[in-house]
Structure 1
Amino acid sequence: MKPILPTLSRSVDDASIHANRYIIAMTVTLACVLELLDTSIVNVAIPHMMGTLGATLDEITWVSIGYVVANVIVLPISGFLGNLFGRRNYLLLSITLFIVASIACGNASTLPEMVFWRIVQGLGGGGLIATAQSTMFEVFPRKEMGAAMAIFGMGIMLGPMLGPTVGGWLTDQYSWPWIFYINLPLGLLALLLVLLYVPESKLRQKVEHIDFTGLLLMAAGIGALQLMLERGERLDWFDAWEVVAYAVISIAALGAFIIRQLEHLHPLVDLRVCRDPQFAAGLVMTFFLGASLFATVFIFPVYLQTLMGYSAWQTGLLILPSALASGLIMPVSARLVSKGFPARGLIICGAGLFMYSMWLHYHFTTQSGTWDFMLPLVIRGVGLGMIFMPLNNLSMANLQPLQIGSATGLYNLTRQLGGSVGIALSATFSTKLSHMKNDVLLEHLSGPFASERLAMLKSRLLASGMPVTSADGAAHALLAQQVQKQALMLAYDHLFMLFGLAMLLTLPLLVVMKKQQVAASAEVAH
């Protein structure tokens, strides 16, 4: 038996809600920036944390894994939790939990303590994105929904990109605990603004039953899937029993969870929203958008720091214009859609620009300089910015207001999982491709060119004072190192093209995405 969506009988008070709608949008977007910033801000401080906490590289990765796993477990049930506690109360609870956990992370003195509080922080942060998005769908009228999603999109794009910049600066200028303490003033500001301006949802549904079995299945399935993606490359994927175990648990638990949710009268996650072709197509496209965004944000800093010798702070500064370009183009996209420009046209243009940017990335070399990077990065930012807001609106356009809570949770979970898959593929393929390219380069490294190169390296080493007996072996080692560096560069070039093509291949899905704009809850309620 399928539950019937209740009829909306009461209207939203435009005077009390719409008057503050842009303050509300800024408030919930600030909360999202906090959550997404902490996804990437930790990465640059890892070496410093290892020393303080006495952890190995393999152990310290759980600081990031614990946060992300907790995050993705909460995302799909944020609509349910919003109904259980009230959306405003749930937002307040999430921010409070996030702040408390951030302070505890900064004060952590052992690895288990740090991992525990990162999990708590992830549980608090996981509810912020979907709750923020569903709040804006309710308080904005349809004609301003593009502007609302542009504000929200700036937070989604800027958060991950600003992480390395902010993290690098705080770690260099102060110490690693400040990457967590920075959340205190910003979190308190978000908390105050929610208390002052964010209203309780008028679309709250009474929770008559909590499906604890479904909750356990979902946590096991999504948690195991995320762990598999996070640990797979490091453990050589399915050659390790741990990764196989994660895969088996994930498939079994998620399969049982989907069946249970489709049959349950009071599901934790309303998976029936996926029956709408437009929303289903949007999920596929946002998966690839997440993969392209997070993977390129992951690959490019690694390229700069391992091959080009950039510091974390320098890397962050170089990435910043791309983030700003995304933020600036989103209001323009919103304006164009509100004026009747086809959302599908913007997505196609954005995907084309992203592909062009990846083609420029494909031509990076170990000799490229700062100005060689600037234009491709800005074009990438513009392309992704043009895709985000129209795709978000198209995906939700056919859904009813009471479905938005579950839909936004699923939508953001899909983008997050896409990012995890993109990063996992990048890490795996960069290793495998670099080995392949290294073998190819070594096959062609023979004859006069190799002899001349070795002679040049040997003469430099002798000029620097190295003994004759050691110079020959050192010259061969240096040549092998240069070949490895070039092979890794070629691997990164191919990965950039791969993600550019992946975005283009999703464009045929736009055929089923015909309705242009989402109907805001505030209008439907009238």
Structure 2
Amino acid sequence: MANAIHSDATLPPLQGAVLAIGAISVSLATFMNVLDSSIANVAIPTIAGDLGVSANQGTWVITSFAVSNAIAIPLTGWLSQRFGQVRLFITSTLLFVVASFLCGTAQSIEMLIAFRVLQGAVAGPMIPMSQSLLLASFPKAKAGTAMAVWSMTTLVAPVVGPILGGWISDNYSWPWIFYINVPLGVLATYSTWTIYQKRETVTKKLPVDTIGLSLLVLWIAALQIMLDKGRELDWFHSGQIITLAAIAVIGFVFFLIWELNEEHPIVDLSLFRNRNFTGGVIALSLGYGAFFGNIVILPLWLQTQIAYTATQAGLAMAPVGLFAIMVSPFVGRNIHRMDARIIATCGFLIFSLVLYMRSLFTSGVDNWSVMLPAYIQGFAMAMFFAPLSMLILSGLKPEQIPAASGLSNFVRVLCGAFGSSLATTAWDNRSALHHTQLMEHANAYNPIYTNSMQSLQQIGLSSDQANAMFERTLSVQASTLGANDIFYFSSMMFLVLIIAIWGTKPIHGKHAVVDAGGAH
């Protein structure tokens, strides 16, 4: 195998049909990874109902994957240098297939969460390694084309995922949203190995920061469990929540101290001294957290309150990728001609508009009103990742790019997990508040309430039946108002985050560093 090991500098780019097949093979694994997130979102009510838990508890299926995935990302650079990029990518993809199969066999929510943790952990290197392999496959002058090919898969998956997830949930059973990864993963693994097995990168033994990694797992796990179980245990009235909060804070402080003094840190915190890195990571990560939290809430609201089927909810969310697919190539071709901050700002303004439109939803909203913001959001998606990634990596030395890309992806995925937990918790709290406020007006002195009850009884309902129907209507209204609050807050959050974008130094696309190692 020695003659198959090369340094990055000696690897010639692929050409012709081999390049096309290689790019499709690597992108297929990325597609499978992203598909697994979007396909699960619309299936949460089905999974929760089948396993006998609430829809909010069902969101642990999403957050458990995201948290373990975030923790695994910082290890990608060390793993790729220790075992080689191709071996790591192939192994990660195969393990993802195995974990997906196990998720489909889960008989309880605890089993499913455990298998999702495993799935997220083994999936950590897949996306960074797919970027690296693609960048090494294309000529240096066509690095932008390589990233455009990669981006297209990440944009197509959110279109296909909700539709496929909804259709499978309605017509088959939810385990098939995980089983579908098996043939895709096997195909991606076989075709990638066939083309890339002789393009393995050089390997070397490096020390791994085991203490830093242990502290990272400790404080993130404690914080995520606290966020997921806080509502259920009445927050800081619970000794368990107080203990988890203390572990998270103490673990985080010790993690910071250790990483700042470690010679080979698992997370290079010194990167935050760079103004563009800090501003870009803040904008990208908090923006992604707000975005991810809202795409978890929206299908839950549609299915649990507005009586959408899983398929209908999927179709309502799918348009988000259509304009993104159309606009992304244009942005990619012209990004070097504009200030990246202007493009990112336009994306954030569109996100704010979309979320404001959703904050005006009512319980009687029609399907077009639900879908229109999703179409518009496609423009924002096309202007979100690329310019912010360029801002994050601008001004860094080439040897800093792998660590910077890994750290920014780690923070982004982590904020996505936290965002979904915070959004569902806030939705619960705001819905309960609105329910209480609305109930205050349901009394004999309110003519609207008395007239409504009389009308229901006149059509043949008993007093108890009329009260039950009124309670259901009131609950739907309270949940809708609660969701509106989350959408509105997120809309304002995107406006505030524009400050972080303009806190960076001006750069243009031609000054951004693009390197095959940058995806680690």
What TM-score does the superposition give when structure 2 sets the normalisation length?
0.86
The separation in 2 between residues aligned to 1:255 and 1:159, in whole angstroms, is: 38
Question: Cα distance 1:141–1:234, how it changes in 2: closer, same or farther (>3 A)?
Answer: farther
Among 317, 327, 330, the alignment partner of 1:329 is 327
Letter in 1 for 2:448: F
Partner in structure 1 of residue 495 of structure 2: 504
Is 1:430 the counterpart of 2:424? The answer is no
Question: Cα distance 1:233–1:87, how it changes in 2: closer, same or farther (>3 A)?
Answer: farther
1:174-212: CA deviation from partner (whole Å, max 9, x where unpaired): 333322221112112221343244488898673332222
Question: Cα distance 1:48–1:476, how it changes in 2: closer, same or farther (>3 A)?
Answer: closer
1:315-355: CA deviation from partner (whole Å, max 9, x where unpaired): 101111112222332222112214x1322221111112222
Percent identity over paired residues: 32
The separation in 1 between residues aligned to 2:109 and 2:357, in whole angstroms, is: 41
CA positional deviation for 1:509: 2.0
The separation in 2 between residues aligned to 1:387 and 1:70, in whole angstroms, is: 24
Question: Cα distance 1:139–1:284, how it changes in 2: closer, same or farther (>3 A)?
Answer: farther
Among 488, 506, 510, the alignment partner of 1:514 is 506
CA positional deviation for 1:378: 0.7
The separation in 2 between residues aligned to 1:48 and 1:433, in whole angstroms, is: 24
Partner in structure 1 of residue 270 of structure 2: 272
Partner in structure 1 of residue 453 of structure 2: 454
1:226-241 aligned within 5 A? 226-241=224-239
Report SS of the residue matched to 1:282.
Answer: helix
Letter in 1 for 2:488: M
Report SS of the residue matched to 2:363.
Answer: coil
Partner in structure 2 of residue 308 of structure 1: 306
Partner in structure 1 of residue 381 of structure 2: 384
1:126-168: CA deviation from partner (whole Å, max 9, x where unpaired): 2212333344555566764444444434444554564443222
1:280-339: CA deviation from partner (whole Å, max 9, x where unpaired): 11110111221222122112112211221100111101111112222332222112214x
CA positional deviation for 1:46: 5.4
The separation in 1 between residues aligned to 2:379 and 2:233, in whole angstroms, is: 36
CA positional deviation for 1:17: 4.8
Moved more, 497-506 or 13-22: 13-22
The separation in 2 between residues aligned to 1:510 and 1:333, in whole angstroms, is: 18
The separation in 2 between residues aligned to 1:228 and 1:157, in whole angstroms, is: 32
Question: Cα distance 1:457–1:311, how it changes in 2: closer, same or farther (>3 A)?
Answer: same
Letter in 2 for 1:265: E
Report SS of the residue matched to 2:124.
Answer: helix
Residue pair 2:431, 2:482 contacting (<8 A) in 1 also:
yes
Question: Cα distance 1:374–1:277, how it changes in 2: closer, same or farther (>3 A)?
Answer: same
CA positional deviation for 1:443: 4.3
CA positional deviation for 1:405: 2.4
The separation in 2 between residues aligned to 1:160 and 1:134, in whole angstroms, is: 22
Moved more, 404-413 or 161-170: 161-170
1:379-422: CA deviation from partner (whole Å, max 9, x where unpaired): 12221222221111221122233323222222122222222222
Partner in structure 1 of residue 3 of structure 2: none
Report SS of the residue matched to 2:384.
Answer: helix
Moved more, 66-75 or 375-384: 66-75
1:220-249: CA deviation from partner (whole Å, max 9, x where unpaired): 222223323333333333333333333222
The separation in 2 between residues aligned to 1:205 and 1:243, in whole angstroms, is: 44
The separation in 2 between residues aligned to 1:62 and 1:298, in whole angstroms, is: 11
Residue pair 2:347, 2:384 contacting (<8 A) in 1 also:
yes
Residue pair 2:347, 2:381 contacting (<8 A) in 1 also:
yes
Partner in structure 1 of residue 418 of structure 2: 421
1:75-474 aligned within 5 A? 75-108=73-106, 114-136=112-134, 144-159=142-157, 162-198=160-196, 206-338=204-336, 340-444=337-441, 446-460=445-459, 462=460, 466=461, 471-474=462-465
CA positional deviation for 1:486: 1.7
Question: Cα distance 1:344–1:83, how it changes in 2: closer, same or farther (>3 A)?
Answer: same
Equivalent residue pairs, number: 506
Report SS of the residue matched to 2:263.
Answer: coil
Question: Cα distance 1:272–1:160, how it changes in 2: closer, same or farther (>3 A)?
Answer: farther
1:480-514: CA deviation from partner (whole Å, max 9, x where unpaired): 33233222212212211211111111112223142
The separation in 1 between residues aligned to 2:220 and 2:13, in whole angstroms, is: 39
Letter in 2 for 1:269: V
Partner in structure 1 of residue 4 of structure 2: none
RMSD over equivalenced CA pairs, Å: 3.2
Residue pair 2:228, 2:421 contacting (<8 A) in 1 also:
yes
The separation in 2 between residues aligned to 1:373 and 1:144, in whole angstroms, is: 39
Question: Cα distance 1:382–1:105, how it changes in 2: closer, same or farther (>3 A)?
Answer: same
Residue pair 1:95, 1:128 contacting (<8 A) in 2 also:
yes
CA positional deviation for 1:43: 5.1
The separation in 2 between residues aligned to 1:94 and 1:102, in whole angstroms, is: 12
Letter in 1 for 2:506: K
1:11-50 aligned within 5 A? 12-13=9-10, 15-17=12-14, 25-42=23-40, 44-45=42-43
Question: Cα distance 1:245–1:194, how it changes in 2: closer, same or farther (>3 A)?
Answer: farther
Question: Cα distance 1:16–1:373, how it changes in 2: closer, same or farther (>3 A)?
Answer: same
Structure 1 unpaired stretches of 5+? 1-9
Partner in structure 2 of residue 4 of structure 1: none
